[in-house]
């Protein structure tokens, strides 16, 4: 038993790791889980695929506990120790997009809107957050903000649901992710998003795409390219990882049992958000 526990604590090494939709600055962020993930996983290149910092929420009300600072520190430490970090901007951290033209680099961290990643086996993958392919986010921001409030309510229910599971000795389970998978409208939106991103990748003559935005981790073939989505660290606590042979896989951190409990975060409180 002790040997198994020791193996569980081992650090895993990957060629590349992709994380998206962390939403630092919101109570729903599973920062405690992410710190644990960053402690136990090393890589040569780390992609932060948008919505890492939630500027929408921070603009309305300030929320930044120590756990969120710990995430930033872990990323900066990796960068200092030689990991190349790309911060790919998203819609919730769109305030960074105005700096991309200046080729902003902070130490070993570079801020970009998108870029092409070459895998160990030579495939070309487009890396971007994906919000430009979401019609609501791009053209109807007021509706996206309204949807964000509804999403907060769902996440608040998710918090209390998992608090009850923890009291019963049960592991974390995302009620909100399950509901999204089962609601036909949400499934259709996800499908349309995936289709749009895949066709753009196909148009550019690339082999695949890696994105975030919709909080739904997946790897599948679509229109002759391989579609990858990182998922998120608000609901499902997932990441994408590339091994040294070029194979990509989804890491579902909670399902692996690394943290067999609910995160100790406060329930979400509705904040006034400036458009």
When pLDDT is cut at 50, 70 and 90, the band that residue 5 belongs to is very low
Confidence check: pLDDT of 121 > 60: yes
- Percent helix, strand and coil across the chain, each rounded to 5? 40, 25, 35
Domains of the chain, first to last:
2-252 (3.60.21.10)
Confidence check: pLDDT of 54 > 70: yes
The average pLDDT across 5-26 equals 85
Q: Are 181 and 187 in contact (CB under 8 A)?
A: yes
When pLDDT is cut at 50, 70 and 90, the band that residue 104 belongs to is confident
3-state secondary structure 50-100: CCCECHHHHHHCCCCCHHHHHHHHHHHHHHHCCCEEEEECCCCCHHHHHHH
CA–CA distance, 182 with 96 (Å, rounded to integer): 34
The reported pLDDT for the residue numbered 155 is 58
CA–CA distance, 26 with 119 (Å, rounded to integer): 33
When pLDDT is cut at 50, 70 and 90, the band that residue 275 belongs to is very low
Q: Alpha carbon 58 to chain centroid distance?
A: 18
CA–CA distance, 36 with 49 (Å, rounded to integer): 19
Q: Are 248 and 230 in contact (CB under 8 A)?
A: no
> Tokens 């900066």 sit at which residue?
76
In this predicted structure, which of 19-23, 121-125, 174-178 has the lowest mean pLDDT? Answer: 174-178
Mean pLDDT score of the chain: 80
Confidence check: pLDDT of 42 > 90: yes
pTM of the model: 0.75
> Tokens 């406060």 sit at which residue?
266
When pLDDT is cut at 50, 70 and 90, the band that residue 60 belongs to is confident
Q: How many residues does the chain have?
A: 275
Query: pLDDT tens digit string along 202-245?
Result: 999 999 999 999 888 999 999 899 999 999 999 889 999 999 99
Q: Are 50 and 20 in contact (CB under 8 A)?
A: yes
Name the more confident of 190 and 5.
190
């Amino acid at each position: 038993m002790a040997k198994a526990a020791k193996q569980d604590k081992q650090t895993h090494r990957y060629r590349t790791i992709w994380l998206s939709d962390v939403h630092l600055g919101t109570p729903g962020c599973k920062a405690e889980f992410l710190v644990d993930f960053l402690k136990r996983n090393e890589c040569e290149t780390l992609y932060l695929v948008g919505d890492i910092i939630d500027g929408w929420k921070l603009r309305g009300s300030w929320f930044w506990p120590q756990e969120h600072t710990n995430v930033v520190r872990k990323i900066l430490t990796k960068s200092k120790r030689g990991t190349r970090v790309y911060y790919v901007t998203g819609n919730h951290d769109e305030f960074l997009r105005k700096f991309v033209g200046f080729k902003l680099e902070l130490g070993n961290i570079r801020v970009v809107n998108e870029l092409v990643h070459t895998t160990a086996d030579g495939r070309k993958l487009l890396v971007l957050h994906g919000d430009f392919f979401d019609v609501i986010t791009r053209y109807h921001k007021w509706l996206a903000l309204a949807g964000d409030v509804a999403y907060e309510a769902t996440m608040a229910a998710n918090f209390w649901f998992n608090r009850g599971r923890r009291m019963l000795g049960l592991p974390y389970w995302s009620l909100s992710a399950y509901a999204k998978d089962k609601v036909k409208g949400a499934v259709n939106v996800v499908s349309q998003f995936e289709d749009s991103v895949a066709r753009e990748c196909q148009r550019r003559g690339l082999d695949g795409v890696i994105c975030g935005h919709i909080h739904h981790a997946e790897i599948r073939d679509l229109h002759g390219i391989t579609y990858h989505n990182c998922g998120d660290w608000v609901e499902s606590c997932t990441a994408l990882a590339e091994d040294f042979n070029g194979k990509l896989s989804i890491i579902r951190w909670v399902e692996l049992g690394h943290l067999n409990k609910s995160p100790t975060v406060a329930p979400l409180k509705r904040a006034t958000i400036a458009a």
